[in-house]
Structure 1
């Protein structure tokens, strides 16, 4: 279903307008290095904090903190690294904390916030994990993952994407999130720019900041199904552009990039020698029209430029197993493996055995996963139809994943007695938690304050109950304007 007409989405990330903005880290510093030195001290000594504020000054950061205690106290510098101060805290924590408190108090709260399947891990996968433990397969594996699993991944990528990889071009990690972060660290240098279409997964901009790169936000519109216009991409690129992050199917919108648009994006990428693409395909097996899904790495001339991330969590209902993988040119994959060797080393041996069993279930997970996808499609259809009947609400029908990103901005400006004014997605979510006892995620967390993300990784019965509560709460509001 095409999205209803409307103005382009507002982009948050502390930016007031929906146009291209570069998000700087808000600080500068100089970096120096020196050889390690060993210094001996007399027994009765005192450490004095060094004044390091001459080269680094930033509002809100106390340069020196002192800890004292006991005889012969020490003055200790307790400041944090600037990269920590650059990272924004999660905007969803307050509402999640509030929901948790209600649940502990026995209040019947429905959570549609968490993005994980409500299905159990398929028995063939679980049994493989049990067997691994029984057979003593509980020791370290190679850092990059077992050859058995990496070979199976290569075979799967060949079957599904038509791309030939070798095991040394695969890195198995503790979840797709680790794979993504390691790729960002390997590719980006301080001052580089990371291009991110929004709405986007909350961690992309923060990963860029941790790599001391600058997130550059390219807004998308609900009227265009949250798909990035290749012309806007072209306008955003500079000589500092280093990485473009594409997520298809998307979290939070469920949008899937069609092949024709990916080809246009590839033409733009090809004009910039420094630009690489991080293709997040974590949800690729949860696609309602599988023929529409195209791996970016399979496009002509893009394989050498693309690092692709996949995971077992979403499609195989293995979120707690924590396993994902990166595929790409050996040069980049080896660099990611180097970081992983110092960070976590290899992933769980038991999880890798389970993942190998998952890949043996047939193309796209076989009938078991097809049953899950069918259930997700039914839930999506229910929410699209139900919310589509509410006046003023805008919807872009998801083509994959299990999230729907709905524009509720027509309710902004409404004043609720005993609550206050609803002035954005956060306050709307708090209102719905208070009055409907339903937990949703505010769109501002994803870079679009006009919308709210609803996860339909819950039973149809639960979704019906949640919608009824939400509708009742919204009817009680008086929309500031009908769009």
Structure 2
């Protein structure tokens, strides 16, 4: 019997495919394309981490781990989060190793939302946030940020979005796609509103290691926020381990227990060799992280200066590995700009509109590419914009 639309859940049928993946697929079918589209480090995982995974296989570590992950890894995560971001967690009861940070966000939303609960989503934002809220039965309430304010969430905008149905704020800093980083003062103003309205924060801090000018501040480290924050991080971006699919959740015990219930039924546990690789990365890989960060900072400075010289206004992002230049003065929509640039100059970028209404008029460019590729891409974009 053929599968028909009548069998497909309405929430899935109406869901839009990823706008990022669309442009990645278009670029993959063309020769000579320079891709600034996909948010993935161009570095490889450190040799010590790769070797640890190989050794785990040679030793026959091919069984399930505990649902929450290897205890040794959770203990190392606790030391890392406490030492790096000044937030203490009990590794036995408050940390879960997940299949990437994306699964961690999904777990957090499914664990806290009842039908009709609202989650405030700050746009422009990663493309999965709103769909994941809706799949969990919630309603995403978007708050736009602007280039004039360097895409930072403004307290008054947050206050206006809160209703009696609001349960949580989903916050990403440093941000994908804008690179905006919220400093301590920014977060304190947000935290005051969160506490006043008795909300939770789902803090996506996957880019925490890629903060270039000011050290990263975790909102969970602020007074009164640890108990109302689900802290999400992982190894994909800072440790160049995207394909290993390994993230983690740090949360108060009752929240962690609720998320673990879902995790044990839906996923059982994260990959065992990947967990051994992550354990080694935390123990010995921080020097590699620092070297990558130095190179990213150099690329960031180059591409921001280049876009501004071309005439595409671009703010200096505080973190991640994206720039978000304005293309409004070209008279094209962000999708028209991205499609024409790909067709005429073979440079793949992501239209800002896929990240929410506030992203229209901008494009996302990843500088997680070699300097040679960035230089050639900027040359082509400049030629295109000059037309």
The TM-score range, normalised by the shorter chain, is: over 0.9
The equivalent of 2:362 in structure 1 is 451
- 1:216, CA displacement in angstroms? 0.7
Runs of 4+ residues over 4 Å off in structure 1: none
Larger RCO (CA under 8 A, 6+ residues apart) = 2
Query: Which of 329, 354, 357 pairs up with 2:277?
Result: 354
**C-alpha distance after superposition, 1:311-370 (max 9, x if no partner):** 101111111111000001111111111101111111011011111101102xxx532111
Q: CA deviation at 1:95?
A: 2.7
Alignment-derived partner of residue 403 in structure 1: 322
Q: Where does residue 85 of structure 2 map in the other structure?
A: 161
2:20, 2:37 within 8 Å by CA — same for their partners in 1? no
For structure 1, the 5+ residue unaligned runs are: 1-66, 69-74, 413-421, 477-483
Partner of 1:174: 99
Q: Does 1:235 align with 2:160?
A: yes
SS in 2 for 1:197: strand
In the alignment, structure 1 residue 211 sits paired with structure 2 residue 211:
no
Shift of 1:289: 2.2
Of the three residues 56, 78, 87, the one matched with 1:132 is 56
TM-score, scaled to structure 1: 0.78
Unpaired segments of 5 or more residues in structure 2?
Answer: none
Q: Decide which of 431, 441, 444 is 2:340's aligned counterpart.
A: 431
- Contact 1:429 1:441 survives alignment (8 Å): yes
Q: Which entry has the higher C-alpha Rg, 1 or 2?
A: 1
Match of residue 327, structure 1, among 233, 236, 250: 250
TM-score normalised by L of structure 2? 0.96
Indicate the residue corresponding to 1:338 in structure 2.
261
Counting only pairs closer than 5 Å after superposition, residues 284-323 of structure 1 correspond to structure 2 as 284-291=208-215, 293-323=216-246
Summarize deviations over 1:103-125 as a string: whole Å, max 9, x none. xxxx2111111111101111111
Matched with 1:394 is: 313
Structure-2 separation of matches of 1:99 and 1:357: 35
User: How far does residue 101 in structure 1 lie from its aligned partner after superposition?
Assistant: 1.7
Shift of 1:400: 0.7
Alignment correspondent of 1:99: 27
1-structure distance, mates of 2:46, 2:102? 22
Is contact 2:310-2:385 (8 Å) kept?
no
CA apart distance, 1:76? 8.4
SS at match of 2:45: coil
Contact 2:179 2:320 (8 Å CA) reproduced: yes
Alpha-carbon deviation of 1:96?
A: 2.6
Change (3 A) 1:140 1:474: same
Query: Which digits, 9 at most, give the CA deviation of each residue in 1:284-318, with x for residues without a partner?
Result: 00110243x21111111111100000010111111
**Matched residue SS, 1:406:** coil
Residues in 2 aligned to 1:90 and 1:295: alpha-carbon distance in whole angstroms: 28
Task: State how far apart, in whole Å, the 2-side matches of 1:249 and 1:354 are.
Answer: 25
- Using the TM superposition, give the Cα deviation of residue 85 of structure 1 relative to its aligned residue in structure 2, in angstroms: 2.5
Contact kept? 1:192, 1:213, Cα under 8 Å: yes
CA distance in 1, matches of 2:42, 2:10: 39
Quick check: 1:87–1:209 contact (8 Å CA) kept in 2?
no
CA 1:331 to 1:137, structure 2 compared with 1: closer, same or farther past 3 Å?
Answer: same
Q: Distance in 1 between matches of 2:20 and 2:184?
A: 33
Q: Deviations over 1:35-60 (max 9, x none)?
A: xxxxxxxxxxxxxxxxxxxxxxxxxx
1:375 aligns with 2:298: no
Q: Relative to structure 1, is the Cα distance of residues 475 and 164 closer, same or farther in structure 2, using a 3 angstrom cutoff?
A: same
Pairing 1:89–2:17 present: yes
Query: Displacement, 1:79?
Result: 2.6
8 Å Cα contact 1:223/1:396 also seen in 2: no
SS in 1 for 2:7: coil
Compute the displacement of 1:86 (Å). Answer: 3.9
Q: 1:320 and 1:93, CA in 2 relative to 1: closer, same or farther beyond 3 A?
A: closer
CA, structure 1 residues 92+156, in 2 after alignment: closer, same or farther (shift >3 Å)? closer
Q: 1:77 to 1:195 in 2, by over 3 A?
A: closer
